[in-house]
């Protein structure tokens, strides 16, 4: 179910803690309790208050291990809501106009046909004038932290989801700076050491996706070597 993943995400956090006073036991708001409250508000359709609780959960003072679990849980919730019909901050309803196609709407909102289909429960690309579609109108940014080997996706300047990644090895460091994503490819061909490695080759280490950044030769891509994630082992690219 749509809430099943949210419930599973919450379970990665520890139980609520209690602070005992001389007169009574007072419950303390912890990240997991706030996320549980947010999940309930999402179920009731109160996305604004749910978002506030998720922001509060991230702002709590936590040790590194607990913080990582908090981010994991919030990321699961965010993705669950993103790929649902629920309208949240950063999304809106679009009314299909004569002459529209999903590809045209996706370009307008810098999205993909697949994302619009999944968020709206569409089984095919057939749409009709007057249909209402949930689309994303948010601004997204990526922050790669080479020190802890993470890639953080932000939506409208706020945490959305975090991933573990691999980065450049010593002598082939991942470049530092601010870049744009200039191209996106599905099932990319790998051009390596003068060789052309096709997408279906087991020697193609790029995986199923490539996002090229504004420094030529570097990008963010998938992998056929999942055991390398969380290490500094690449030729400079960010590997997911």
Mean pLDDT along residues 221-232:
96
Query: Tokens 């922050």 appear where?
Result: 143
CB-based contacts of 159-164 (< 8 A; 24+ apart in sequence): 159/58, 159/71, 159/74, 160/75, 160/78, 161/74, 161/75, 161/78, 161/79, 162/71, 162/72, 162/75, 163/240, 164/229, 164/230
Q: What is the pLDDT of residue 28?
A: 56
CA distance 6 to 50: 13
Q: Which of 22, 76, 192, 237 is catalytic?
A: 237
How many Cα neighbours within 13 Å face the side chain of 10? 19
pTM summary value: 0.79
Q: Give 146's DSSP letter.
A: T
**3-state DSSP call for residue 90?**
coil
How many Cα neighbours within 13 Å face the side chain of 222? 13
**3-state DSSP call for residue 64?**
helix
- Whether residue 25 is predicted with pLDDT greater than 70 in this model: the reply is no
Looking at per-residue confidence, does 63 or 231 come out higher? 231
Q: Convert the pLDDT of each residue in 100-109 to its tens digit.
A: 999 999 999 9
8 pLDDT band, cuts 50/70/90, is: very low
Q: What is the pLDDT of residue 183?
A: 92
Listed in sequence order, the DSSP H helices in 60-216 are 64-82, 102-108, 113-120
b/e per residue, 185-216, with b = 16+ CB within 10 A? Answer: eeebebeeeeeebeeeeeebbbbebbbbbeee
Q: Convert the pLDDT of each residue in 145-184 to its tens digit.
A: 999 999 999 999 999 999 999 999 999 999 999 999 999 9
Q: What is the pLDDT of residue 23?
A: 52
Q: What is the pLDDT of residue 193?
A: 84
CA distance 152 to 141: 8
CA distance 141 to 156: 8
- Whether residue 126 is predicted with pLDDT greater than 80 in this model: the reply is yes
2 pLDDT band, cuts 50/70/90, is: very low
Query: Percentage of the chain surpassing pLDDT 70?
Result: 88
47 pLDDT band, cuts 50/70/90, is: confident
What's the distance, CA 37 to chain centroid?
21
Mean pLDDT along residues 66-72:
91
Q: Which of 22, 76, 192, 221 is catalytic?
A: 221
Active site residue 221: yes
* Cα-based angle 79, 215, 205 (whole degrees, multiple of 5): 60
Mean pLDDT along residues 171-200:
93
């Amino acid at each position: 179910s749509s809430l099943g993943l949210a419930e599973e995400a919450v379970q990665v956090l520890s139980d609520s803690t209690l602070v005992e006073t001389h007169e009574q036991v007072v419950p303390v708001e912890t990240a997991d309790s706030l996320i549980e409250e947010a999940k309930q508000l999402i179920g009731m359709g109160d996305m604004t208050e749910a978002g506030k609780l998720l922001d509060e959960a991230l702002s709590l003072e936590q040790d590194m291990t607990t913080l990582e679990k908090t981010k994991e849980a919030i990321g699961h919730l965010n993705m669950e809501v993103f790929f649902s019909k629920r309208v949240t901050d950063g999304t809106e309803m679009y009314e299909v106009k004569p002459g529209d196609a999903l590809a045209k709407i996706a370009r307008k909102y810098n999205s993909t046909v697949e994302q619009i289909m999944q968020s709206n429960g569409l089984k095919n690309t057939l749409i009709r004038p007057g249909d209402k579609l949930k689309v994303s109108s948010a601004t997204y940014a990526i922050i790669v932290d080479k020190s802890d080997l993470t890639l953080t996706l932000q939506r409208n300047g706020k945490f959305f989801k975090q991933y573990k990644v691999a980065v450049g090895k010593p002598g082939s460091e991942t470049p530092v700076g601010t870049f744009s994503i200039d191209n996106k490819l599905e099932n990319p061909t790998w051009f390596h050491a003068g060789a052309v490695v096709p997408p279906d080759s087991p020697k193609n280490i790029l995986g199923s996706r490539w996002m090229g950044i504004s420094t030529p030769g570097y990008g963010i891509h998938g992998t056929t070597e999942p055991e390398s994630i969380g290490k500094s082992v690449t030729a400079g690219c960010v590997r997911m």
